[in-house]
Amino acid sequence: MSYANQIRKHCYRNYVKPARDRGDTHIRISAADVHSALNFKNRFPSVINALETDKFWGKYNLGIPAKEGPNLSSTTVLIFQL
């Protein structure tokens, strides 16, 4: 499985689905949290790029993400409307 597919699958299972089950209106996904959970090394750009594509937000019917923090950094946070 590609890194991008691993990232998208992890974020759906650990962020999108639980948030929808709770009835949340948005989710915040930290690049650092995803990177750490998947035991990656130096793949922050991969994490962010995988989540910014419509392969993620389009597939799971999310709003186009807003971004906080610097681009392609460990401190980048993506915010999606559910």
pLDDT band at 20, cuts 50/70/90?
very high
The structure tokens listed for 26 are 């948005």
The pLDDT of residue 35? 98
Residue of 35, 1, 20 whose CA lies nearest to 80: 20
Give the Cα separation of 73 and 79 in Å (integer). 15
32 Cβ partners below 8 Å, 6+ apart? Answer: 44, 74, 75
34 pLDDT higher than 90: yes
The pLDDT of residue 30? 98
Q: Encode pLDDT of 42-74 as tens digits.
A: 999 999 999 999 999 999 999 999 999 998 999
The structure tokens listed for 20 are 């929808």
The pLDDT of residue 1? 82
